[in-house]
């Protein structure tokens, strides 16, 4: 960028803090990615150390002439975007009642907006992906946890305490398996990545045959690959997972009546082996009427959605 020497340009900066990695992106105002990357979270070192590593990445990758006015930080967990506090995150042990806005503002020397990572992903999809031009849009993220962001009238819907959209912890099976939140039968306890692996292990323990390696490091991807090869046990795992996902989607429609629900996250990469039973379950459990118009679609931005959404939210566009 030598030809731009001396020219100042304003860019946005988005950060998506995950339990293992932090995804980052320098973004133009209209959402085009200039450069993006990933660094380890190393959550045990604490949030200040993570913010320092984010600052280091930004310094190494910022374009010449870049002027940074604000930044957006997405993070999984129960947080209050108005006060800037992360109260609790199951993916970040020890990060309890953390003044996340202050920590990142001091590290980056700019005002910072913090937001739940699912809300960031939803806003990114709303502006640049599957939810474009939707009046009321929901984006469900399937991974270790189950998150959901709700966009109404172009803005993130927070509810009265900032916890709207925590659909991973709505109870869909009252006597179901325990959840990390302390309740039982939550959607996350039934369709999160750990629940899917546990479902497969139980079927194997019950004597079902499968091509899946039964080692300690079984992943959702292993199960998905086996299902793609016609493994009946793996297909049954996703049949049951899709069944509960469909019920969860019905509850989202009942609560928020969106035009469209996009589904993303790492678990969603399983593809049709998950989406087909989920769609079938959704249509089976929803009654006819206005709520039945909701469309289910795959998210479009992949693992870039949350940092893109965080960056765009920081600009005040939302």
| Pair of tokens at residue 167 | 């659909």
Rounded to an integer, what distance in angstroms lies between the CA atom of residue 56 and that of residue 38? 12
Distances (CA, A) of 89 to 47, 66, 119, 165: 12, 33, 15, 15
Q: What is the pLDDT of residue 317?
A: 42
Looking at the structure, tell me whether residues 188 and 45 fall in a common domain. Answer: no
Q: Which residues of the chain have pLDDT under 50?
A: 1-5, 317-318
Inter-helix orientation angle 220-228/232-256, to 10°: 110
DSSP per-residue codes, 69-130: EEEEEEESSEEETTTTEEEE-TTSTT--SB-HHHHHHHHHTS-EEEEEHHHHHHHHHHHHST
Rounded to an integer, what distance in angstroms lies between the CA atom of residue 38 and that of residue 308? 14
Q: What is the pLDDT of residue 10?
A: 85
Rounded to an integer, what distance in angstroms lies between the CA atom of residue 138 and that of residue 125? 9
**What residues make up the domain containing 163?**
130-300
Rounded to an integer, what distance in angstroms lies between the CA atom of residue 227 and that of residue 264? 19
Q: What is the pLDDT of residue 104?
A: 97
Query: Where do we find the tokens 């939803």?
Result: 122
Rounded to an integer, what distance in angstroms lies between the CA atom of residue 311 and that of residue 317? 10
Cβ contacts of residue 98 below 8 Å, gap of 6+?
Answer: 47, 85, 86
- 190 membership: H or E segment, kind and range: helix 187-191
Looking at the structure, tell me whether residues 157 and 259 fall in a common domain. Answer: yes
- Domain total for the chain? 2
Residue 122 lies in a domain: no
Rounded to an integer, what distance in angstroms lies between the CA atom of residue 216 and that of residue 47? 30
Q: What is the pLDDT of residue 244?
A: 98
Looking at the structure, tell me whether residues 109 and 24 fall in a common domain. Answer: yes
Looking at the structure, tell me whether residues 308 and 290 fall in a common domain. Answer: no
Looking at the structure, tell me whether residues 150 and 289 fall in a common domain. Answer: yes
Q: What is the pLDDT of residue 85?
A: 93
Provide the CATH number for the domain around residue 26.
Answer: 3.30.420.40
Looking at the structure, tell me whether residues 27 and 171 fall in a common domain. Answer: no
Distances (CA, A) of 262 to 140, 149, 150, 183: 6, 10, 11, 26
Looking at the structure, tell me whether residues 206 and 59 fall in a common domain. Answer: no
Q: What is the pLDDT of residue 112?
A: 95
| Pair of tokens at residue 125 | 């999809």
Nearest to 269, CA basis, from 179, 162, 196: 196
∠ Cα 264 297 173 (to 5°) = 70
Give tens-digit pLDDT for 66-101.
889 899 999 988 888 888 999 988 789 899 999 999
Looking at the structure, tell me whether residues 136 and 273 fall in a common domain. Answer: yes
């Amino acid at each position: 960028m030598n030809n731009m020497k001396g020219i100042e340009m304003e860019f946005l900066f988005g950060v998506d803090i995950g339990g293992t990695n932090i995804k980052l992106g320098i973004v133009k105002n209209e959402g085009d990615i200039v450069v993006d990357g990933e660094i380890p979270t190393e959550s045990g070192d604490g949030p200040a150390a993570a913010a320092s590593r984010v600052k280091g990445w930004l310094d190494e990758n910022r374009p010449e002439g870049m002027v940074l006015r604000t930044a957006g930080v997405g993070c999984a967990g129960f947080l209050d975007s108005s006060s800037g506090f992360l109260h609790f995150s199951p993916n970040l042990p020890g990060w309890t009642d953390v003044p996340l806005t202050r920590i990142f503002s001091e590290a980056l020397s700019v005002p910072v907006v913090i937001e739940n990572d699912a809300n960031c992903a939803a806003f990114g999809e709303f502006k640049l992906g599957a939810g474009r031009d939707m009046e009321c849009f929901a984006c469900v993220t399937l991974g270790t946890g189950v998150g959901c962001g709700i966009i109404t009238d172009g803005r993130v819907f927070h509810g009265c305490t900032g916890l709207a959209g925590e659909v991973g912890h709505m109870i869909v099976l009252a006597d179901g398996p325990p959840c990390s939140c302390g309740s039982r039968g939550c959607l996350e306890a039934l369709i999160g990545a750990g629940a899917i692996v546990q479902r497969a292990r139980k079927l194997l323990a019950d004597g079902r045959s499968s091509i899946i390696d039964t080692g300690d490091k079984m992943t959702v991807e292993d199960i998905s690959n086996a299902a793609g090869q016609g493994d009946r046990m793996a297909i049954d795992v996703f049949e049951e997972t899709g069944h509960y996902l469909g019920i969860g989607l019905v509850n989202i429609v009942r609560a928020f009546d969106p035009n469209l629900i996009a589904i993303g996250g790492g678990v969603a990469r399983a593809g049709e082996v998950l989406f087909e039973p989920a769609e079938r379950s959704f249509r089976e459990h929803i009654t006819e009427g206005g709520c039945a118009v909701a469309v289910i679609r795959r998210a479009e931005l992949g693992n870039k959605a949350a940092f893109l959404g965080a960056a765009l939210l920081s600009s005040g566009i939302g």
